[in-house]
Amino acid sequence: MHASAEQMMPMHRRAAQILDGSPIDNLWQIAVMHRGHRSGPGACVRATWLKARPEQFERAIDFYRSDVLPATEELDGFCSASLLVDPTAARAVASVTYDSLGAMKRSTDATGSLRTAMLRDLGLDQDDTAEFELALAHLRVTEVP
């Protein structure tokens, strides 16, 4: 990843230009990646960006694995979930993919309750939550328990 950074920079700048933005280079690690099944056309994603106190960071990852992920898997229309982390900044982004917009909307109350518990119990800050139509679904990443 580090060796390719210089080669990737022109592509980052071009993508930012197309999207009318600025390239931001953050180094994110995959802490958790779980697929219930492949997503199909019409799949949607809810993503939540979080900030933790550095001393709570590992505990937050463990809580995601032990409590949030199992509860999320039970939601109607669940496809997959991931937790990407930037340990140096104690930041994370959790995303859940659903079969459809309807399934994602039906999960709003349940996921809101999970998020509230996580924020309260671990003292996390929520930077943002957003919902998206899934554009690229077939990343070649192995499952990370």
Domains, in order of start, for the chain: 26-133 (3.30.70.100)
Adjacent-strand bridge partners of 84: 30, 93
Which tokens hold the place of 61? 């990852």
The DSSP 8-state label assigned to residue 54 in this structure reads G
Q: pLDDT tens for residues 36-84?
A: 888 889 999 999 999 988 888 888 888 889 988 999 999 999 999 999 9
* Element holding 81 (H helix, E strand): strand 78-86
Whole-angstrom distance, CA of residue 101 vs CA of residue 108:
11
Q: pTM of this prediction?
A: 0.80
Among residues of the chain, what percentage have pLDDT more than 90? Answer: 34
Residue 92: burial class (beta carbons within 10 Å; 0-12, 13-18, 19+): buried
